[in-house]
Amino acid sequence: MEDDSNSNSINQFDGDENRILQQLLHTNISSKRKQLFWYDIRNFPDSLLIEILARLPVKSIFSFKSVCKHWQTLISHPSFCRFYYSILNSNAPSSSQPLRILDRYTYVPTLDELLNRLCTEVHSLSEFSVVFLSTPEDQQQYHQFRILAISNGLILCCWRAPTPFVYYICDPLTRQWITLPRRGHRYHDSFKEGLITKVNEDHMLTSYTVVRLEHLTLNYLNLETFSSETGKWITYKLPCPIPILWRQLACAPIYCYGALHWQVINDKGIHVMLAFDPYKDPKSVCLIPFPDDRDLKSEHNYMGACQLCGESQGSLRYFEVAHDSTQLYLFSMWVMKDYEKGEWCCEFKVRRNDLHSNDLELSNWLLDGWFRPLSFHPLNPNVVYLQCMEPERIVSYNILNKRLDFASKPTDSAQLILWSTAIPFVLPKWPVLDPITTVKSKKRG
């Protein structure tokens, strides 16, 4: 990956490791004793230094890599990552990792600015937030960056500009990126992309694959893959089992069971998933049905806005919200039972009067409020995020206790998040390090 040498975290220390170490140690020492407190870093054991550093926030740890070469070596070693994980996992479960829902459309002038906003907004202190990386005013000034897919904390994005567009794979914490070889001169809405990354136990990126689909005809797809192992794009023209159409409002791909899934429409006007596994069978695609007993009328009339398909804890899930107050059940959810056979199992159906909330304002809206599904929590299978349309709020629904809670502040009507543009992003405990880059690139100065 390329490294942004203009990162704010770099150069904020002058290289004096003695001074930095004293600042870390002095936090638990009385002011009277600080005058007599002094350590020579040359005599300070590495084991104790690692114990101190591993208990700091990950963003601070990566800032301290610039203190000196010795600290950089310690922090960059795979054993430090494993030790950091052991401490973190002993203190908090994985489901407590902060979740961001990103709006996939961003209007910024440069990739540097996109990384700046990602670093600032994504790594805020809140446990949950909806992140808009650009303002309505930005949309009038700049070309669009589009966030296409997320995998292991890495973001696949492209710059939709009149000039030849470029794909990037970015790490919002380290501000590093990979630039892929260009494909064509302009970006088309018919493109559907996906990203698959493989990370080892030391959180080192071992390989990545970018997939791009283009709908040629009703029966054929133009499929291109770029692999870090080959360093080049490979093109396939694949037949579809049956004629398909892209959905008018297409969301990001779903990665589950080793395959990427895009939501499409079959020749009968029914919504299905197009699945592609670049490792198991790179020369074919297959169609996966949604639950048979879902509300097909709502799916057709509202273009799927009342339905949500996503992944949580390694399983595909399908969530449905009633489109009007006359329906008996407000929320319904299915879980994939047999992937090979395309069989779903209904987990629950919930009526309005079964719901409750500890928030008085939200309680007043439970009987006639209008909701739209937004995202599953990738690490907590018991939580679904929804958009309450009136009042405009993002709420969380707990499947176990049937409770609704406000998850974020009121949304600006000018920046209303849509299910088709929402991409869940879990902040990684540790950034992906030292990827295998087969694409030549230059460091920005």
Is the backbone peptide bond immediately before 391 cis, with ω within 30 degrees of 0? yes
Task: Give the pLDDT band (50/70/90) at residue 365.
Answer: confident
The most confident of the ranges 155-164, 333-342, 416-425 is: 333-342
The most confident of the ranges 86-95, 260-269, 331-340 is: 331-340
Rounded Cα–Cα distance for residues 255 and 231 (Å) = 22
Q: Tell which wins on pLDDT, 432 or 352.
A: 352
Task: Give the pLDDT band (50/70/90) at residue 443.
Answer: very low
Give the burial class of 339: count Cβ atoms within 10 A of its Cβ; 0-12 exposed, 13-18 middle, 19 or more buried.
Answer: middle
C-alpha separations of 72 from 16, 38, 61, 262 in Å: 13, 22, 10, 41
Task: Give the pLDDT band (50/70/90) at residue 324.
Answer: confident
Nearest to 196 by CA among 207, 182, 181, 183: 207
Catalogue the E-assigned strands of 30-160.
99-103, 105-107, 128-131, 144-151, 154-160
Rounded Cα–Cα distance for residues 137 and 156 (Å) = 24
Rounded Cα–Cα distance for residues 395 and 391 (Å) = 11
* Residues 232 and 84: beta-carbon distance below 8 Å: no
What pLDDT, in 10s, does the model give residues 199-247? 887 777 888 999 999 876 678 888 999 998 899 999 999 888 888 888 7
What pLDDT, in 10s, does the model give residues 32-55? 554 555 556 667 788 888 998 888
For residue 414, the 8-state DSSP code is G
**128 pLDDT higher than 90:** no
Nearest to 208 by CA among 179, 245, 173: 179
pTM of the model: 0.82
Q: Tell which wins on pLDDT, 254 or 139.
A: 254
**435 pLDDT higher than 60:** no
Residue whose entry in the numeric block shows the structure tokens 């206790």: 401
Comparing 11-15, 64-68, 343-347, which segment has the lowest mean pLDDT?
11-15
Tell me what pLDDT residue 317 has.
97
Rounded Cα–Cα distance for residues 386 and 383 (Å) = 10
Rounded Cα–Cα distance for residues 193 and 206 (Å) = 20
Query: In terms of DSSP bridges, do strands 99-103 and 128-131 run parallel, antiparallel, or are they unpaired?
Result: parallel
**4 pLDDT higher than 50:** no
Angle at 33 between CA 32 and CA 37, to 5 degrees: 145
> Percent of the chain beyond pLDDT 90?
29
Tokens linked to 25: 């140690």
Rounded Cα–Cα distance for residues 389 and 365 (Å) = 10
HSE value, Cβ hemisphere, 13 Å, CA-based, for 269: 7
Rounded Cα–Cα distance for residues 436 and 369 (Å) = 49
Which neighbouring-strand residues pair with 387?
Answer: 372, 394
Tell me what pLDDT residue 368 has.
79
Element (H, E) at 74: helix 69-76
